[in-house]
C-alpha cells in the first residue's frame, strides 16, 4: 500500500542550529502539506503545495522556516535557526488534488526536540 514517507523519524537539535525534514508523497499526489502538531493539540497547517507551487504559507514563520518542492514531487521543510518552541511533531501529508472532498494521507511524522 502506498505511503507518505518522512525522514528522519526523530531529530534532536540544539537551539540556533539548522534542521531539515524530508517528505516523499504518494506517487501521483499533486497536493502536499506540511503540518506542525504540538503535543495535545491538533495539526496546524504550515504550508500547502499544488505541484511545485506554494498555495498557502500564511501560517509559516517565514523568518526562520522555509519549504520547497522543486520538481513537484518530494519536499523539504527547513528551520534555521531552531528555537525551543519549535519542538513538535512535523507531519507531511498528500492528497490526489486540492479538492475539498479529497482525503489527506499522512506520513509518520518527524518528532523534533530542540534543546
Partner 1 sequence: SQKIEQNSEALNIQEGKTATLTCNYTNYSPAYLQWYRQDPGRGPVFLLLIRENEKEKRKERLKVTFDTTLKQSLFHITASQPADSATYLCALDRASGTYKYIFGTGTRLKVLA
Which residues here bind partner 1, judged by CB under 8 A?
Answer: 4, 31, 35, 40-45, 48, 55-56, 91, 93, 98-109, 111
Q: How far apart are CA 47 and CA 77, in angstroms?
A: 9
Residue 110 CB, nearest approach to partner 1 (Å): 10
* Residue in 28, 22, 38, 35 with CA at minimum distance from that of residue 75: 22
Residue nearer to partner 1 on the CB measure, 63 or 100: 100
Residue nearer to partner 1 on the CB measure, 74 or 98: 98
Residue 70 CB, nearest approach to partner 1 (Å): 21
Amino acid at each position: 500500500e502506498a505511503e507518505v514517507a518522512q525522514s528522519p523519524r526523530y531529530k534532536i537539535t540544539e537551539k540556533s542550529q539548522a534542521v531539515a525534514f524530508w517528505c516523499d508523497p504518494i506517487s501521483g499526489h499533486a497536493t502536499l502539506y506540511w503540518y506542525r502538531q504540538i503535543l495535545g493539540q491538533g495539526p496546524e497547517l504550515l504550508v500547502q503545495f499544488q505541484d511545485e507551487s506554494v498555495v498557502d504559507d500564511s501560517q509559516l514563520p517565514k523568518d526562520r522556516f522555509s519549504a520547497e518542492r522543486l520538481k513537484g514531487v518530494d519536499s523539504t521543510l527547513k528551520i534555521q535557526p531552531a528555537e525551543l518552541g519549535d519542538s513538535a511533531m512535523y507531519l507531511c501529508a498528500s492528497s490526489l488534488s486540492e479538492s475539498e472532498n479529497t482525503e489527506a494521507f499522512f506520513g509518520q511524522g518527524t518528532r523534533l526536540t530542540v534543546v
